[in-house]
Amino acid sequence: MTWNDNGGRLGEEFFTPGTSSFTEFLAEHRPELLSTRRILPDGIRAAPDRVPHGTTVLALAYRDGVLIAGDRRATMGNLIAQRDLEKVHPADDYTAVAFAGTVGLAVDMVKLYQVELTHFEKIEGTPMTLNAKARRLAGMIRQNLGQAMQGLAVVPLLTGYDPSAPEGERGRIFSFDVVGGLYEKQDFHAEGSGSPYARGALKKLFRKGMDRREAALAALQALYDAADDDSATGGPDLNRRIFPIVSVITEDGFERLAEPETEELSREMVEQRGSRPDGPNATP
């Protein structure tokens, strides 16, 4: 019996000891509420030009923690579906997730993941470890496998600050494949259609011990390179004042860089590109 079936009262399942996973609770009692479980009819595949897709997101470790960033464009085939999409979200105080792939499913997955972490902490009285958070997200991606095989894939990028890790290695980055494979990345990583160009830029710009400003500029340069070669990735839009989202996670928790700061760094970068269109050289 559910909340709606019992005159506004909670059903028995809410008072029965069970799993600390909110996703598993829904799968057992209300599976129809899990968007990742819905499969298209046999023989049907989503048309790529009818479903908005998010593109390039990236992360890099820096001196105080980890930075995660994303462009703002969503596309449907050759059309721009949205210019100001937010692809970077806090999962909890010390974890953030960004996504590439099918926008509608990705947004639902991020919201469910946020509830999953909060529910676990309330039930267990302690937050998950960062490794457990990564495994839990991998399981949620695996639940979406049926839809991914029909063209509705979601590819997240997870970052977190791990106080139990050695000094200088507390900013951690995890990537996933469409079947839920989990991979920890060192130093930096990017996902989405523009990721090969973003990773190429980060290879030449990344160095150990960067401060926050240097890391943010490296991320913006990488996103600019992605937009320069991938039509699905959006660069900074100076006229509309739409700029990439850049966030950091440190021992003080998650922080999204204020728009004036992101705008200032973006304008500085675009001005530099006026004299060097291909971007800065690698740091010696």
267-to-85, 164, 204 alpha-carbon distances in Å: 20, 37, 21
Specify which residues 246 forms β-bridges with: 69
The rounded distance, in Å, linking the Cα atoms of 128 and 121 is 7
Of 55, 56, 75, 102, the catalytic one is: 55
The rounded distance, in Å, linking the Cα atoms of 13 and 28 is 10
Q: What is the dihedral of CA 95, 180, 34, 116, to 10 degrees?
A: -30
Cα end-to-end span (Å), the chain = 65
CA neighbor of 102 nearest in space, from 150, 44, 41:
150
232-271 burial, b if ≥16 CB within 10 A, otherwise e? bbbbbeeeeebbbbbbbbbeeebebbeeeebbebbeebee
CA neighbor of 91 nearest in space, from 159, 176, 166, 23:
159
Cβ atoms of 54 and 72 within 8 Å: the answer is: no
- Residue 127 per-residue DSSP state: P
Respond yes or no: is residue 55 known to be catalytic: yes
Rounded to 5, what percent of the chain is helix, strand, coil?
Answer: 40, 25, 40
User: Active-site residues: which are they?
Assistant: 55
